[in-house]
Structure 1
Amino acid sequence: MIVMSIAGVDPSAGAGVLTDIKTFQAIGVYGTGIVTALTAQNPYKFFSTLPIDEEYISEQIDSVLDAYEVEFIKTGMLYSPEIIKLISKKIKEYNLKAVVDPVMVATSGGDLTKHDLAESLNKYLLPKAILTTPNITEAERLTDFEIKTAEDAIKASKKIVCNNIITGGHLDGINTINIEGNVKIKKQELIKTDNLHGTGCNLSAAIVAYLAKGNTLEDSILKSLDYVYESIKNGNYGTLIAKL
Structure 2
Amino acid sequence: MVVMSIAGVDPSAGAGVFADLKTFQAHGVYGCGVVTALTAQNPYKVFSVNPIDASYVEEQIDAVLEAYDVTYIKTGMLYSPEIIKLIGEKITEYDLKAVVDPVMVATSGGDLTKSDLADALNRHLLPKSILTTPNIEEAEKLTDFKIKSKKDAIKATEKIPCNSLITGGHLDGINTMNIDGEITIEKQELLKSDNLHGTGCNLSSAIVSNLEKGFDIKTSCLNSFDYVYESIKNGNYGTLIAKL
TM-score of the aligned structures, taking structure 1 as reference length: 0.99
TM-score of the aligned structures, taking structure 2 as reference length: 0.99
**Map of 2:99 onto structure 1:** 99
AA aligned to 1:7 is A
AA aligned to 1:239 is T
Any idea what SS the aligned residue of 1:158 has? helix
TM-aligned CA deviation for residue 33 of structure 1 = 0.2
**Map of 2:40 onto structure 1:** 40
**Map of 2:82 onto structure 1:** 82
AA aligned to 1:158 is E
**Map of 1:233 onto structure 2:** 233
**Map of 1:210 onto structure 2:** 210
Any idea what SS the aligned residue of 1:169 has? coil
AA aligned to 1:131 is L
2:49 equivalent to 1:49: yes
Any idea what SS the aligned residue of 1:90 has? helix
Quick check: 187-196 or 111-120, which moved more? 111-120
CA RMSD across the alignment:
0.6
Unaligned runs of 5+ in 1: none
Q: How far apart in 1 are the matches of 2:238 and 2:194?
A: 14
Q: Could you list the runs of 4 or more consecutive aligned residues of structure 1 that deviate by over 2 angstroms after TM superposition?
A: none
**Map of 2:116 onto structure 1:** 116
**Map of 2:196 onto structure 1:** 196
Seq. identity, %? 75
TM-aligned CA deviation for residue 155 of structure 1 = 0.6
TM-aligned CA deviation for residue 179 of structure 1 = 0.4
Q: How far apart in 2 are the matches of 1:92 and 1:138?
A: 25
Q: Deviations over 1:122-173 (max 9, x none)?
A: 0000000000000000000000000001111011011111000000000000
AA aligned to 1:22 is K
Q: Deviations over 1:163-192 (max 9, x none)?
A: 000000000000001001110000000000
Q: Deviations over 1:44-103 (max 9, x none)?
A: 011110000111110100001000000000000000000000000000000000000000
**Map of 2:63 onto structure 1:** 63
Q: Deviations over 1:184-220 (max 9, x none)?
A: 0000000000100000000000000000000011100
Q: How far apart in 2 are the matches of 1:128 and 1:29?
A: 24
Answer yes or no: is the 8 Å Cα contact 1:14–1:238 preserved in 2. Answer: no
TM-aligned CA deviation for residue 114 of structure 1 = 2.5
Answer yes or no: is the 8 Å Cα contact 2:23–2:237 preserved in 1. Answer: no
Number of residue pairs aligned between Structure 1 and Structure 2:
244
Unaligned runs of 5+ in 2: none
